[in-house]
Structure 1
């Protein structure tokens, strides 16, 4: 039994993936209905040699309610129905360059075709593909996009099926050489990004080891650029996004010579024809978008009315109840431009890097391109039409800023391996600001999976939701925690941005009456954002009034008196 927990305040529909040791499975949902499932060979690329969770990945379509869980049951199929589970083997066999172990592939093909077969798979270090010619028509599809690849395996273009436009969008890995000394400053270190060369060095091989897998739930292209750089590009059938699962490391570090540029700071770069004219947008601490141009300040003393409290960009900003939605709080900067001082031309690369907690995007009048990341990374648009994000670093020199230790972390005598995901989103300039906040929340609230024998689940509820009804789009339960004396701490947020593309800036009203499955809210008191004291600037809410209004980007905190429902049992 696989139980999937969703900590997000909205339902999650996604493709679950778990490692398995066979290819022959049925998957059933909490009602006992059979769900779509398929099996791909797993992909490790020899970079994490000591991790062998299973030679295959079982994927199935899962739906999990908000603030709740769903259970799925996996059973081994009979031999007669085996071919229904495995992805189309004609595509699989035609497209394999290098994947998995030879014995594993031989057993798999033998069982599928009822005979022994000989499969010769070269090692990574040989960098020699199987004798299969993929030709020039190498692509993967879903309901929204078709991705075309060059003959060497790199991404070449994307067909947007919604608009019918063929977009020249590509993706590549690079690294900046991190030199020991610089004439104008410190070398890169734990606190400093100061590459020795402004131009990145391409890490893409002439002939990439690639394999293509075409299934009913997902189509993916697996790429091995070197023994320490690989990735999987995925298209989920019903998702308007492109997933890049990258694996970088162990970064080779051969010497510490005084003239060596062997230390590396590895980036991925997404390139397009978008004319963003030096402007790009990032999130600010996971909240509102920040346009990198002239800042516009909003000061509390500009307002006379009762103020609302917000936590925006590491500062508390106050807005009046009535006039707040008319003020567009967007900090702005432009590439190679600073408002209060002259930009240093010797640090033009590092000066244009900004923290990217959840997303970064560029746009022009016709098109917008965004990258949603699964962790905080440095990012920029150092060239028009491009987005780059820092993935991994391994250095050989200290920046002399106090640590007195080189950023050279190792395990088993080798550099560390980093693995993560990006979601590439392509849309119109007006739609991109509506789409990426929701996708960023889905990326952040990735469902968690637990496993148990089926016998343990006989007397348990197979699906439970913490909410009795769906919340309005853009509203999220940020905090739900036990407080004191039959109270809970409830923090709600409206994560819709203050971008001007949102035409509707009116408050969203949430009624807490009957909202939660296992308790009722009886009364509430509003606290300041941290929950440390009562918010005295607001009129006390009547005990029978459980409606809360939230403007875009607003977060409000409450201490709620509750009465637990005696008939609710999660049994989890």
Structure 2
């Protein structure tokens, strides 16, 4: 028996465009910082498309909800971006925000796919985004939250924005995916708001934008404020601060995923390479992070590489690695990885898509004297 769409099951009975029963209203706003187009499709769907001056991408802010279910029909709302690109059934979606996986509509590389659900069978979850390309152009769409995406028509990208359903899919929840907010005894469906980011690039040029803006979305700047009296701002000792050596630039193809103090004098450091092999002609190369310049005011006593989850030393983990019994060729594909960390130079190498985790112990929490610090670097 076919199950209805619900918390776990996605099984739509078709795609139906939402048409307004009146002429859509929109407003165009222009200013020195950005330009915006405000659109109100109906009482529960609106969007703002904005372009910031100096930016090369468009930002689409959507507001959806409460989705009406007075007709006793659940709805799963998507948005589509349509181009004339010849994408040959192919699109790319990220895997947990890291590498992009090639997807081919109605096809699987490991088995002969019997297409029973042409919509749901071609949907994939993303945390970073989706892109399509032809022989000349790439269209990239980044997201600010995990959503389902697909490309059901060549040259088209679609993203799931909101769902409100009235039937349980009998997968254990025991209730329909019909979330509501109740205020003063009055209940209505959820209203959600989010942003999408779009950019068109020449073929092979989109990776820099996807990785750079994707990292900005994942790790936005943290604003900090002070209670200092405005009349006494002159007493504020320093308006700027950098924890790393002022002459050092963190590699553009690298991200600092984790910096956590475990206890006094010991930290957990996790570094990641942002690019895949051959993803970008400039940044899909070995990256190096200089720990002495990352912690210029600390004296590093010991660096220990750990497993990814930091629950054991990497050397011990390698000893426990399972030796699989295989049929056919036992030849393994050579994997490029960064080398051991030299205890004197303290430089961490990162190969494309590599993540490395370290425990770093400092000799003391006191500032290293300037002369000693210069000698160390």
What interval of TM-score do these two structures reach, taking the shorter chain for normalisation? 0.7 to 0.9
Structure 1 residue 523, shift from structure 2 partner: 2.9
Is the 1:361–1:370 contact (alpha carbons within 8 Å) kept by the matching residues of 2? Answer: yes
Residue 153 of structure 2 is aligned to residue 383 of structure 1 = yes
Is the 2:275–2:283 contact (alpha carbons within 8 Å) kept by the matching residues of 1? Answer: no
Q: Aligned partners of 1:288 and 1:345: how far apart in 2?
A: 26
Choose which of 324, 346, 355 in structure 2 pairs with 1:546. Answer: 346
Residue 256 of structure 2 is aligned to residue 482 of structure 1 = no
Give 1:189's aligned residue. Answer: 6
Gaps of 5+ in 1: 1-183, 257-261, 293-333
* 1:398 aligned counterpart, secondary structure: coil
Structure 1 residue 211, shift from structure 2 partner: 1.6
Give 2:16's aligned residue. Answer: 200
* 1:346 aligned counterpart, secondary structure: coil
Is the 1:525–1:540 contact (alpha carbons within 8 Å) kept by the matching residues of 2? Answer: no
Deviations 1:359-405, CA, capped at 9 Å, x for gaps: 10000001110100001100000111111010100011111111110
* 2:116 aligned counterpart, secondary structure: helix
Is the 2:207–2:279 contact (alpha carbons within 8 Å) kept by the matching residues of 1? Answer: no
Summarize the Cα distance change of 1:194–1:519 in structure 2 as closer, same or farther, 3 Å threshold. same
Q: Aligned partners of 1:417 and 1:466: how far apart in 2?
A: 41
Structure 1 residue 358, shift from structure 2 partner: 0.3
Give 1:241's aligned residue. Answer: 57
TM-score, normalised to structure 2, is 0.83
Segment of structure 1 superposing worse, 241-250 or 469-478: 469-478
Q: Aligned partners of 1:542 and 1:499: how far apart in 2?
A: 27
* 1:396 aligned counterpart, secondary structure: coil
Q: Aligned partners of 2:172 and 2:51: how far apart in 1?
A: 45
Structure 1 residue 505, shift from structure 2 partner: 4.4
Is the 1:483–1:559 contact (alpha carbons within 8 Å) kept by the matching residues of 2? Answer: no
Structure 1 residue 453, shift from structure 2 partner: 4.6
Is the 1:228–1:249 contact (alpha carbons within 8 Å) kept by the matching residues of 2? Answer: yes
Structure 1 residue 206, shift from structure 2 partner: 5.1
Summarize the Cα distance change of 1:480–1:190 in structure 2 as closer, same or farther, 3 Å threshold. same
Q: Aligned partners of 1:388 and 1:360: how far apart in 2?
A: 9
Correspondences of 1:104-503 after superposition (within 5 Å): 185-197=2-14, 199-204=15-20, 207-256=23-72, 262-292=73-103, 334-412=104-182, 413-455=187-229, 459=236, 461-468=238-245, 469-484=248-263, 486-502=265-281
Q: Aligned partners of 1:532 and 1:369: how far apart in 2?
A: 40
Q: Aligned partners of 1:339 and 1:357: how far apart in 2?
A: 23
Structure 1 residue 346, shift from structure 2 partner: 3.0
CA RMSD of aligned residues (A): 2.3
Tell me the matched-pair count. 338
Is the 2:299–2:368 contact (alpha carbons within 8 Å) kept by the matching residues of 1? Answer: no
Deviations 1:470-500, CA, capped at 9 Å, x for gaps: 2011111111001245111111111112245
Summarize the Cα distance change of 1:193–1:203 in structure 2 as closer, same or farther, 3 Å threshold. farther
Give 2:365's aligned residue. Answer: 564
Is the 1:409–1:416 contact (alpha carbons within 8 Å) kept by the matching residues of 2? Answer: yes
Gaps of 5+ in 2: 319-337, 370-377
Q: Aligned partners of 1:339 and 1:509: how far apart in 2?
A: 35
Summarize the Cα distance change of 1:541–1:440 in structure 2 as closer, same or farther, 3 Å threshold. closer
Q: Aligned partners of 1:540 and 1:223: how far apart in 2?
A: 55
* 2:55 aligned counterpart, secondary structure: coil
Give 1:529's aligned residue. Answer: 308
Structure 1 residue 208, shift from structure 2 partner: 1.6
Q: Aligned partners of 1:385 and 1:433: how far apart in 2?
A: 19
Q: Aligned partners of 2:237 and 2:20: how far apart in 1?
A: 51
TM-score, normalised to structure 1, is 0.56
